[in-house]
Amino acid sequence: MTEIKNLNFGELERWVRQQGWKKFRAGQIAKWIYTKKAGSYDEMTDLSKDIRNFLKENTVLNVLQLITYEQSKEDGSIKFLWRLKDGHTIETVFIPERNHYTLCVSTQVGCAVGCDFCFTTKDGLIRNLSTAEIIDQYIQSQRFVGLEKRISNVVFMGMGEPLANYENVKKAVQIMTDDRMLGLSHRKITISSSGIIHQIKRMYQDSSFPQVRLAVSLNAADQKTREKLMPISETNTLENLMKTLNSLPVKTGYRIMLEYVLIKNVNDRPEDAHRLAKLIGKNKKRYKVNLIPFNPYPGSPYERPEEERVNRFHKILWQYNIGAFVRWSKGKDISAACGQLRKKEITEKVSFITPAGLKK
Ligand code: SF4
């Protein structure tokens, strides 16, 4: 069975031709799936009954099943928990912002990177998500919240390291940015990596990887602290990472985002802020710094800094003229840490629910 959302436009056209159909059928099918977000082949009324039946019998349209969701009363963000065909579960977060909607998607079941502050990685990596499983997070979330709330921004910041699932993520980005498919703006897609140097270089050298924004989890401005927080730093050292980032061909409007999770008494002291500013040095125009106060989860060894500590750190960066902003986590009243709702489902066996009753 072909999972139809695994195919980018060129592959969809080839597949359509293999069935002996005219090429334009690819455009028709893509329009139903990606523009109209059809949930079944029966909705595709401008396709003949024979074609619809063939599609039903030979392809899979939907690859995610909604298990449950939590909606924040504070800010309206929604965390979805989906079941995959093999029974594993993943999360996606829908985030209403001031004037647009953002979706945070997962790229792996679990994660192998092992960041010390991260809930997702506790059970290690289970498997990569397929392109269809990444794309369906967008389509099913959009169907759930209603097409009038168009999700314009996508951040690959959910469960998993996107660049460790390189090919499937690349194809998902191709589908997202193709005007014949989801048609999102390149600038509104952000891939967030823990800093796997060879994969970052590969992405920038790969002409078939659509240009999107890059975010890198820095989390410390010195090797020792970074290594403690992110063991991946032992092989992808801070020095080499910064050297690589400083040499990437970054176009105007595509500044690299340095993500910095602020953890109380670990990396949030004034000297840490000064060190970060020095690390960025003269490359200020190349970066933006995203400060994210740590989101504690049950049993986490770290604490969230108080607002004044966050503001102090922020102010120091501004004094160096470094573009920095604080991202207060959305949905603090729901299972906010990435992977937490999934864990809850595993331990509490949340039952399957339907979207009825969702507060929009
Ligand atoms: S923070 Fe991201 S890269 Fe690090 S372990 Fe968690 S999911 Fe993996």
The mean predicted confidence, pLDDT, of the chain is: 92
Number of Cβ atoms within 10 Å of the Cβ of 325 = 11
* Ligand 1 and 111: CB distance under 6 A: yes
225 and 303 share one domain: yes
Sign of the CA dihedral with 130 first, then 133, 137, and 140 last: positive
Q: Which residue has the higher pLDDT, 195 or 75?
A: 195
Residue among 13, 91, 259, 345 flagged as catalytic: 91
Number of H helices and E strands in the chain, helices first, is: 11, 14
- N-to-C CA span, the chain: 36
Interatomic CA distance for residues 80 and 103, integer angstroms: 11
**Residue 113 belongs to a domain with what CATH number?**
3.20.20.70
Same domain, 47 and 184: no
Q: Locate the ligand 1 atom nearest the alpha carbon of residue 111 and give its number.
A: 8
Tens of pLDDT along 319-332?
999 999 998 876 66
Q: Please indicate whether residue 159, judged by its CB atom, sits closer than 6 Å to ligand 1.
A: yes
Q: Is 104 annotated as a binding residue?
A: no
Examine the pLDDT at 216 and tell me if it is beyond 70: yes
195 shares a domain with 74: yes
* Contact by Cβ (8 Å): 138, 151: yes
Residue for token digits 């709702």?
341
Residue 162 lies in a domain: yes
* 3 annotated as a binding-site residue: no
Ligand 1 atom having least distance to the Cα of 193: 3
Domain count across the chain: 2
> Could you confirm whether 91 is annotated as catalytic?
yes
Whether 28 and 72 share a structural domain: no
The whole domain housing 201 covers 65-348
Handedness of CA 187, 107, 8, 84 (dihedral sign): negative
* Strand pairing report for 89-96 and 101-104: antiparallel
Instruction: Label residue 348 by pLDDT band (50, 70, 90).
Output: very low
Are 275 and 188 found together in one domain?
yes
Q: Which atom, in ligand 1's list, is nearest to the CA of 339?
A: 7
Which of 67, 62, 90 is CA-nearest to residue 1?
62
Q: What is the pLDDT of residues 262-302, one digit of tens each?
A: 999 999 999 999 999 999 999 999 999 999 999 888 888 89
Task: Quote the Cα angle for 109-115-118, to 5°.
Answer: 65
In the residue annotation, 43 being an active-site residue is answered as no
Flag whether 240 is marked binding. no
Look at residue 355 in the predicted model and tell me its pLDDT. Answer: 36
Does any ligand 1 atom lie closer than 6 A to the CB of residue 161?
Answer: yes
Check whether residue 83 and residue 192 sit in a common domain: yes
Domain assignment present for 44: yes
Same structural domain for residues 324 and 221?
Answer: yes
- What's the CATH number where 48 sits? 1.10.150.530
In DSSP terms, 325 is beta-bridged to 290
CA-nearest of 58, 60, 192 to 132 is 60
Q: Which of 341, 351, 328 is nearest to 119 (CA)?
A: 341
Provide the token pair at 244.
């690589």
Same domain membership, residue 196 and residue 50: no
Amino acid at 154: V
